[in-house]
Structure 1
């Protein structure tokens, strides 16, 4: 897929064209493969009701694009000339949501159809009359986007040509304002309008270009790709909470491994994961292998409809930056486990400045990393206590990931695999065999001592429960 991406960069340069027409190319039912029966009956019903009420309404964007590619859409969106209030008046099961993007969700049991009013671009010097605040910041980024417009305006403000397709299930016609059908046939991601200006309006569009290219196995058209590297630092100005949502879309859509390769190549990985990007420069083979292995496994689990936790994903993405920090603290005299915990706290705190990872994920990340220091310590009853730990399985899987990336652990992963499969007698023998070997601290077995209170310190990960 990356070969296809690079091929799209090499074609002869020419001046970018304005891709949106005021009069669309209209494809009749005989000129495309779409059929209304393929789409959600609820979405089709919404379009019909809005048209009957006198409004323009179309199925739009990703659902039209995916259907043309033979992909089953995850959701169905409707665009209409009706305002949110007018939409809500037509549907009792409708709810208006959003501030920056005011939308309407219409509920049909578990299925939700998103309906958006046609929008227009903010003029560059436009100001909000009520608040006297500009709709853009000094770099051109759009801050608010609730200016309603015509169908033509709506097509103009969409990001990519392949997303500016409007399907009318009543007449079964497709309206193509930006040569989107052409780009679908040629498997190209192309921005509508001037790419540099569009990226400055919303730098997240650079991430969306990568996400669509990875998901659809498309190349990024040369003029749309060229500004990405110089503009990549603009991602640092995007709110960290928004970037968290975007990163989940990037890595939890089933194409994470290809996405990572493209992010690195287009220099978008560094603004998202600065510490890991530095580790990729300093230790490229190990860092690249570990992250790629983790993402390939994530993709496989998604394809198999198995659960995936963002905590494990972020643990893998950030891990290559952690060992050097742990080592520095140990060189200052800090014991291994406290050094791991301190380094983990420091790294996660820094990362959350870029991507606001919620605490419900940062706690498991720290526990998975903490297990990496505890798993080598198996003497006495430690092994059984670790097996009972709620975070053991994630810690064990992470250990195997480290080994697959080339880390030497003296067979620790195989030992834990055998220990889980062994019966009680076999486990006792395995622990006894460890008695003559040094543990991870380089020391042999030590006699157990009771604390002054007569209570044994509880083993396990702090806060695991």
Structure 2
């Protein structure tokens, strides 16, 4: 099999790889499957004498028969050259500059210059997320990506897939594998662990043994990452529609306890005569998956972050405060609410950079759920309670709670209240990520950290 273009063995830290080229007869991807605007960008790059490839998740999803969320492109053209080719574009990012090309209806195609392996030199010094504005070649760019299944290139000129890291083989075998030595790759960007379990959960893939061992051994290194980045990544997984599968992997790897440390003691010290909180948590996130699946296509159906966080914290609030199994009168419930808020401030506020209003809304939702459980009668409530401003949102949480407890499905019609209960218009996670990509996230109150990583 001939080597693909872009090889540069003269690079001082380069590990020379030979790509396998998959012809159009050896893979299912056709040009008709690719977004029209993405094709326009690639063709314009090619016509200007530059290479242009569909890369990463777009190739992965097309190979698996899915519709990609994004069609990202890589090229040997520099950002300034890309910018000149596309007047409807802008250069973003400091840690790594890329070009966003704008189209109708707010569509954005991101074009990046192939990156050098020097940022993640497999034999180089141990550095955490070093600057990576170094341009490279196809083989170098493939080796610096996170997972083998995300390291594929599609060339529209001859309709071939270019594979340096056996990503196609892992797709065929349903395997999640990190590129390179997993411990080093995790050390340089611990969020790779979350990406590995994310793609395992979403695609029902098995995580390769060495990758899994490295995740389990290094899960605490997530604490080095910017808290806002962890928050966004976690909510992205919770809203993915595969939260139940994600939850099982996150617990088994202990990533879950790094993200939500208040659950660690609860899992260890639960009473032996009662069901393990993991069981009920799994049922709660399964309810979330089902509702998101049934509401697909309804753009107005977006759960507020505080609602999903309250859903996640139901077993914790019960185990620690017996919030739902014991009736708490007014003053006692108020004191418990204060203690819950203190716990959220101390254990999650900083850990996930949760804004104050979100913590307050989460606390209120949990305590109001206790009120609904205390005053229910045949799933009905007195008029004074139904007239409360918080009743609509709390009744939806109650329905989710009861579905997890007894299997009675939440009526999809009840989701119609979601636009009314958001504290503020909630931006979808993928849009928040799109705006953040390419921008450095710096940790607050931290001296000496680089590129968003906090010093211990």
Q: TM-score of the superposition, structure 1-length normalised?
A: 0.75
Bigger relative contact order, structure 1 or 2, given CA contacts below 8 A and separation 6+? 2
How far is 1:344 from its partner? 2.3
Please list every run of 5 or more consecutive structure 2 residues that lacks an aligned counterpart in the other structure.
1-13, 415-420, 425-456
- Name whichever of 85-94 and 396-405 sits farther off: 396-405
How far is 1:82 from its partner? 1.5
1:365 to 354, 359, 362: 362
Aligned residue for 2:348, secondary structure, equals helix
Verify the 8 A CA contact 1:96 1:102 in the aligned structure 2. Answer: yes
- The one-character-per-residue Cα deviations of 1:59-112 (angstroms, maximum 9, x if unpaired) are 001111111111111111001112222211111111222232322211111221
Matched, 1:91 2:90: no
User: Within 1, Cα distance between the matches of 2:386 and 2:16?
Assistant: 64
For residues 331-342 of structure 1, what are the structure 2 equivalents within 5 Å? 335-342=331-338
Inter-CA distance 88–288: structure 2 relative to 1 (3 Å threshold): same
User: Within 2, Cα distance between the matches of 1:364 and 1:208?
Assistant: 29
2:181 to 169, 191, 194: 194
Aligned residue for 1:335, secondary structure, equals helix
Verify the 8 A CA contact 1:336 1:373 in the aligned structure 2. Answer: no
- 1:451 is matched with none
Matched, 1:290 2:280: yes
Please list every run of 5 or more consecutive structure 1 residues that lacks an aligned counterpart in the other structure.
1-18, 126-135, 408-412, 421-460
Verify the 8 A CA contact 2:100 2:111 in the aligned structure 1. Answer: yes
Matched, 1:113 2:109: yes
1:43 to 29, 38, 46: 38
Aligned residue for 2:244, secondary structure, equals helix
User: Within 2, Cα distance between the matches of 1:124 and 1:207?
Assistant: 18
For residues 261-410 of structure 1, what are the structure 2 equivalents within 5 Å? 261-283=248-270, 285-304=275-294, 305=296, 306-323=301-318, 326=321, 335-349=331-345, 350-375=347-372, 383-403=382-402
Verify the 8 A CA contact 1:290 1:402 in the aligned structure 2. Answer: no
Verify the 8 A CA contact 2:91 2:98 in the aligned structure 1. Answer: yes
Matched, 1:102 2:97: yes
* CA RMSD across the alignment: 3.2
Q: TM-score of the superposition, structure 2-length normalised?
A: 0.76
- 2:452 is matched with none
Verify the 8 A CA contact 2:120 2:185 in the aligned structure 1. Answer: no
Inter-CA distance 87–406: structure 2 relative to 1 (3 Å threshold): same
2:25 to 17, 25, 30: 30
User: Within 2, Cα distance between the matches of 1:96 and 1:153?
Assistant: 22
Verify the 8 A CA contact 2:201 2:242 in the aligned structure 1. Answer: yes
Q: Name the count of aligned residue pairs.
A: 381
- 1:147 is matched with 134
- 2:146 is matched with 159
Aligned residue for 1:336, secondary structure, equals helix
User: Within 2, Cα distance between the matches of 1:402 and 1:347?
Assistant: 22
Verify the 8 A CA contact 1:301 1:307 in the aligned structure 2. Answer: no
